[in-house]
Structure 1
């Protein structure tokens, strides 16, 4: 049986982020052949092409973390109708220099949670556009624009009963997507 390591990239630095909580909770819905590990992005310097020849240790770690995985899971908030700058910075670092794109070919899923009624729909669409350019095959359906409201998580931080069915269905499709593309 194959083992699939998944790099989880959370687009929020906030310790108590809804998206960090979602990333941790949804990983428990995956089968045992899948392991999820959050990749730190808060310590990356701002991307500067002048540094491509000698990247910071945190950038080398980011690229190595991605290279060691069979799939990606992006869980992001929406800031000003797009993805947070810290997430875009991480994407830029791992895709550069030209011809050394660590993201390429890695199957991905995109999720997000927000207090807004449309969840993170616009941020997810922007992220999907970026990932398409970077040659990241991204799960298209089901989309998951999740609103943070009472019952999304239970008292232990797990997915709440009202969201369990939908998010389990999303995870089932995601793991099938990764298994198909990582083969």
Structure 2
């Protein structure tokens, strides 16, 4: 791809030291020079209510603008009670509001996740993929990045270091996302 691409990362955890945010931030070292990465901080987005959607709150406008400016949206989800977080669902609900203004529709997105347990966030990723598909988001089926035992991958300074096999899956997912964006551009 010759032109500059933009990836916007959206984390399902609002915790400042989230391992899923660290997983997203690794994209900076896994991408080529022609790819820009930006993190979408939506911690100030209010709980969705139709009572406050018009006019759209400034924090929501900022989030929607970030999503709309992206070629690729990269979602990193923890697994809470067998699904993705309520905070992420709230952000997604706002991204599709007001009615008829879906900032996600037609986008290419990747879904990744890490957990201290052994599930690799599979249930959360499946639920998130289903919601994204419903909203018209193009999410590749493979490869999947589901990191188990992620706390064991933190060094003494709390920096995340993926094993080679996990980093390879991550790079392959990014390559697939670039391919899908390129195919969209060619069709247009």
TM-score by length of 2: 0.89
In structure 2, the residue matched to 1:178 is 181
Shift of 1:68: 1.3
What is the CA-CA distance between 1:30 and the residue it aligns to?
1.4
2:116 and 2:151 in contact (8 A); partners too? no
Identify the residue that residue 89 of structure 2 maps to in structure 1: 88
- Output aligned runs, 1:1-183, within 5 Å: 1-149=2-150, 152=153, 157-161=160-164, 163-183=166-186
Whole-Å Cα distance in 2 between the matches of residues 182 and 121 of structure 1? 30
Would you say how many aligned residue pairs link Structure 1 and Structure 2? Answer: 183
Measured after TM superposition, the shift of residue 153 of structure 1 is 5.2
Tell me the secondary structure at the aligned position of residue 75 of structure 2.
Answer: strand
How many Å apart are 1:91 and its aligned residue?
0.2
CA RMSD of aligned residues (A): 1.9
Asked if the contact 1:152–1:162 (Cα under 8 Å) also holds between the matched residues in 2, the reply is no
Equivalent-residue separation in structure 2 for 1:150 and 1:50 (angstroms): 40
Measure, in 2, the Cα distance between the counterparts of 1:51 and 1:149. 38
**Counterpart Cα distance in 1 of 2:151 and 2:66:** 34
Structure 2: give runs of 5+ residues left out of the alignment: none
| Alpha-carbon contact 2:153-2:160 (below 8 Å) kept | no
The answer to whether the 8 A contact 1:154-1:160 is kept is no
Q: Which runs of 5+ in 1 are unaligned?
A: none
